[in-house]
Amino acid sequence: MSAGSQGAAGLVVEGLTAGYGREDIIRDLTFGPFLEGEVTMLVGPNAAGKSTLLRALAGLVRATGSVRLDGAELTGLAPAKRARHASFMPQDLPGRVDLTALESVLSALMVTPDRSDDASVIRERALAALERLGIAGHALEPLGRLSGGQRQLVGLAQVLAREPRLILLDEPTSALDLRYQVIVMRLLRALAAEGRIVVGVLHDLTLAARWSDRIVLLDDGAIVASGPPDQTFTVERLRAVYGVESRVERCSEGTLQVLVDDAGELG
């Protein structure tokens, strides 16, 4: 892909420290390479620093260290340039703004006018993205009149339409029903298969185990474990990190299930 043959392909992160104001939230993280075709999910308790890590990869928070994509350093790139390589979907749903779904996706494409494509081509791309998420039928409805889940799908369409190499999704299924959770996870697999690198955050560990190649378990700004789902999710780790009593089992079909029996006491 882009130049710089030194270093591995894919996403490689070294010594990444990031935070807000003077406070560091994630400290000295090193991981990778995450390769194209791979889906990686960050999991961990609330306030572990998952969103902060995604923001740091997208270049939206104060950060030091190295974030390389296909050998090219992303740190220090101007926002418009960086957003061309990596697109981030925030955890918050798109607001109830008086924009149609289509307009909102168009604006995601048009803010960094890197392509000389004419208006109709860009419109096609935006519509295709909505189509892929099954909400093309709502393209002309204002965001303010869509349901929470529909707005989350629009948020996904905004990222999809930008066709980035690195896709960063903060809790992409948090507002979705059973069926759409699977539809979106399947879509992430398809996007990876098309040659993208997908990194996301999920709270549903069973969903994460079923659809990801790699799990990164974060706690208090540090990586506790990282690897294939069945090696990362252990009863002991989940107890240590989340403070829950759980079972990690395989169902009759052989897929991994994380079942929580007890959440302990607060405080």
Partner 1 sequence: MATAAVLAFALDLVTGPSDLPVWDVVRGLFDGSALPAAQSFIVRDVRLPGALTAVLVGAALSLAGAEMQTILNNPLASPFTLGVSAAATLGAALAIALGVSIPGIGEAWLVSANAFLFAVGSVFLLQALARLRGRGPETLVLFGIALVFAFNALVGLIQFLSSQQALQQLVFWSLGSLGGANWTSVLLLSLAVALTFPFSYAARWRMTALSMGDERARSFGVAVGRLRFASLIRVSLLAAVAVAFAGTIGFVGLVGPHLARLIVGEDHRFLLPASALSGALVLSLASTASKTVVPGAIVPLGIVTALIGVPAFLALIVGRRERL
Ligand X SMILES: Nc1ncnc2c1ncn2[C@@H]1O[C@H](COP(=O)(O)OP(=O)(O)OP(=O)(O)O)[C@@H](O)[C@H]1O
Residues that bind ligand X (CB under 6 A): 20, 25, 44, 46-52, 91
Query: From the CB of 126, what's the least distance to partner 1, in Å?
Result: 12
Q: Decide: residue 154, CB within 10 A, 0-12 exposed, 13-18 middle, 19+ buried.
A: buried
Sheet strand arrangement including 214-219 = 86-89, 166-170, 197-201, 39-43, 214-219, 222-227
Least Cα distance to 140 among 90, 102, 92, 183 occurs for 102
By rule CB under 5 A, what string of x and - marks binding of each residue 40-69 to Mg ion?
A: -----------x------------------
Residue 227 interaction partner, one of Mg ion, partner 1, ligand X, none, beta carbon < 5-8 Å per kind: none
**Closer CB to Mg ion, 57 or 127, in the complex:** 57
DSSP 48: S
Q: How many other C-beta atoms lie within 10 A of the C-beta of residue 36?
A: 19
**Closer CB to partner 1, 162 or 196, in the complex:** 162
Query: From the CB of 263, what's the least distance to partner 1, in Å?
Result: 30
Element (H, E) at 150: helix 148-161
158 binds Mg ion (CB under 5 A): no
**Closer CB to partner 1, 96 or 186, in the complex:** 96
Q: Decide: residue 200, CB within 10 A, 0-12 exposed, 13-18 middle, 19+ buried.
A: buried
Least Cα distance to 131 among 154, 148, 113 occurs for 154
60 binds partner 1 (CB under 8 A): yes
96 binds partner 1 (CB under 8 A): yes
Query: From the CB of 150, what's the least distance to partner 1, in Å?
Result: 15
Q: How many other C-beta atoms lie within 10 A of the C-beta of residue 5?
A: 7
**Closer CB to Mg ion, 91 or 226, in the complex:** 91
**Closer CB to Mg ion, 50 or 125, in the complex:** 50
- Count the residues of the shown chain that bind partner 1, applying the rule CB under 8 A: 36
Strand 214-219, strand 222-227: pairing: antiparallel
By rule CB under 8 A, what string of x and - marks binding of each residue 107-136 to partner 1?
A: xx-xxxx-----------------------
- On whether the CB atoms of residues 29 and 13 are closer than 8 A, the answer is yes
Binding stretches for partner 1 (CB under 8 A):
58, 60, 78-84, 87-90, 92, 94-100, 103-104, 106-108, 110-113, 142, 144-145, 155, 158, 162
